[in-house]
Amino acid sequence: MHPADVIAALRKRGTSLRKIAIENGYSHIQRVLTSPWLAAEQLVAKALDRRPEELWPSRYVNPADRALAFKQTRRIVVTMPRIRKHSSRSAGSE
């Protein structure tokens, strides 16, 4: 599917690549339109109720390549940074 068609289909569903990215912990996923990116392909396909190989058939020509990509995909745990507690010391109390 042409990148413009993917964007148009997302807009028709009231979403965008930016919204999908933010909802899934990414800052952006625009690169998925021009380069293979397993995780982002899955997210976009899900938003369109399609399979990734329907959107990007040329990326799925050799199933062994995609199986290897799935195997090599790392799962990460997103953690929030610790909030630093401000000390209650005042400058004049020392």
The CATH superfamily assigned to 3-76 is lambda repressor-like DNA-binding domains (1.10.260.40)
Q: Write down the pLDDT at residue 75.
A: 59
Start-to-end C-alpha separation, the chain: 67
Task: Answer whether 0.95 is exceeded by the pTM.
Answer: no
Q: What are phi and psi of 90, to 5 degrees?
A: -100, 160
Cβ contact 48:10 at 8 Å: yes
Q: Which residue's structure tokens are 């799962």?
A: 75
**The total number of residues written for the chain in this structure:** 94
Residues of the chain falling short of pLDDT 50:
78, 80, 94
Within 13 Å of residue 41, how many CA atoms lie on the same side as its CB?
20
SS3 assignment, position 1: coil
